Structure 1
């Protein structure tokens, strides 16, 4: 079934109605056999605004990034409708995180998806563009195609070699936070990136991870928590070892 590119009157009316009636920041609906995702500008209390920052700025950054990156050929969702405080996109398939945890298909599809994610991130960097916060929960796989989501942290100031390096480390870290161990999927992700590394980004990540080794030592007591707890902290030594070999 072809992707929806522009909404018909019925779909647009349903999207506007959903935006007006739901309190959810992200919701989904079905239309002619396709899933449409609707994302609204987050409404924050004063306390949460102080913690999370300007929700309006984050919303605009993501929406504008989707337009800019799509024009640049980066695999991002198709915006089917947008308004002052919302945008709606076509479904892009299951996330890499879901593939790893819940998908019951052939494992080879996992490896293809993870390798493609690494490759596409490297190709994005080759265009001097950084994602900002790539994560396996925000990268989707459908019909042999990777799609990047969640660009609230996209900003021109991150479109630098340092921003590329941070993207790479964050993505590998996010995978380890899910797996909690070395596995073929993470290896495929790394190989996919390194095969298309645009400008020694991998080497820059090695240097940075060596400098940040103290974080591993500092967080050891938290890493020793029982299984299922402190997964982000437990991903720190795995990430450092992936880049430095020790």
Structure 2
């Protein structure tokens, strides 16, 4: 593929030579920072780290999984991974959302601008009121992003940051909307964010305030998809209570915590769906 630079930032030939030298000196590293001309950039490669067996297996069985919410997207490796990431960045930037800038791309390699600190670090360092304010900003941005018809795909807290006062999205390595309806993919975004947030907050009142911020903005189709998923997981919570804590593990504990929270907040989803129906009916009458 021909070398491409982003119109917002241009890398000098000298800095490019240093970046390529850094890549050559660490052939096994998928993501690595580099300091060039007094600023930090990130080198990201899509031709290292073979896809984990568990992820490959998940993708292979995805077509038969139900509900669609549980399916995974096809892996994008090499140049296909670069193409997916660049297309997502372009779509998000085109809709007015902040992303890293593409400084340079060639084949299976990208050089991106730095947008630190990631939300994981920002939340860990924040006081309780500031943490809640940051989370409110995050859930509002998620709702706005979904309202714009976009989906992140893998919105872990380490794949987003607060940059110049705005939520910044990056690491677009999954495309769940290719294996499930867009609404389910957007609901899946919300679910993946809730997993660590519910475990972090442990305060149902505060978590419901965060959910309502998303519900106020997200498309009603995504809210309905989330409600359907809650209906699917609700019966699983009964036998899960019989499983000793020592056998649950961190991932299962977060899953159950987020599922219990959503079951308890089901009335909020019902209210959001009803309010959307009333707005639609009112608009039809006016037209």
TM-score calculated relative to the size of structure 1: 0.81
Which stretch shows the higher mean deviation, 7-16 or 42-51?
42-51
Match in the other structure for 2:16? 12
Report which of the two structures shows the higher radius of gyration computed on alpha carbons. 2
Alpha-carbon distance in structure 2 between the residues aligned to 1:140 and 1:121: 13
Alpha-carbon distance in structure 2 between the residues aligned to 1:14 and 1:85: 18
Deviations 1:88-143 (A, max 9, x none): 11111222222233x1x444432232112111111111121111121112111122
Asked if the contact 1:113–1:146 (Cα under 8 Å) also holds between the matched residues in 2, the reply is no
Match in the other structure for 2:253? 234
Q: Considering only aligned residues, what root-mean-square deviation do their CA atoms show, in Å? A: 3.0
Indicate the SS of the match to 1:130: coil
Check if 1:149 corresponds to 2:170.
yes
- Cα 1:50/1:169, change in 2 over 3 Å: closer
Q: Determine which of 138, 142, 165 is the counterpart of 2:159.
A: 138
Asked if the contact 1:80–1:88 (Cα under 8 Å) also holds between the matched residues in 2, the reply is yes
List structure 1 runs of 4+ shifted beyond 3 angstroms.
Answer: 44-54, 57-60, 105-109, 182-189, 214-223
Alpha-carbon distance in structure 2 between the residues aligned to 1:79 and 1:129: 19
Q: Which has the higher helix share?
A: 2
Match in the other structure for 1:70? 93
Check if 1:29 corresponds to 2:43.
no
Match in the other structure for 2:218? 197
Alpha-carbon distance in structure 2 between the residues aligned to 1:46 and 1:211: 29
Indicate the SS of the match to 1:89: strand
Alpha-carbon distance in structure 2 between the residues aligned to 1:114 and 1:17: 39
Check if 1:90 corresponds to 2:95.
no
- Cα 1:184/1:151, change in 2 over 3 Å: farther
- Cα 1:183/1:84, change in 2 over 3 Å: farther
Alpha-carbon distance in structure 1 between the residues aligned to 2:52 and 2:217: 43
- Cα 1:225/1:40, change in 2 over 3 Å: same
- Cα 1:113/1:180, change in 2 over 3 Å: closer
- Cα 1:26/1:187, change in 2 over 3 Å: farther
Q: Determine which of 262, 273, 278 is the counterpart of 1:243.
A: 262
- Cα 1:45/1:150, change in 2 over 3 Å: closer
- Cα 1:187/1:98, change in 2 over 3 Å: farther
Indicate the SS of the match to 1:65: helix
Deviations 1:37-73 (A, max 9, x none): 1111142459859558552244432233223322232
- Cα 1:71/1:14, change in 2 over 3 Å: farther
- Cα 1:73/1:148, change in 2 over 3 Å: same
Which stretch shows the higher mean deviation, 84-93 or 49-58?
49-58
> How far apart are residue 245 of structure 1 and its match?
0.8
Check if 1:38 corresponds to 2:43.
yes
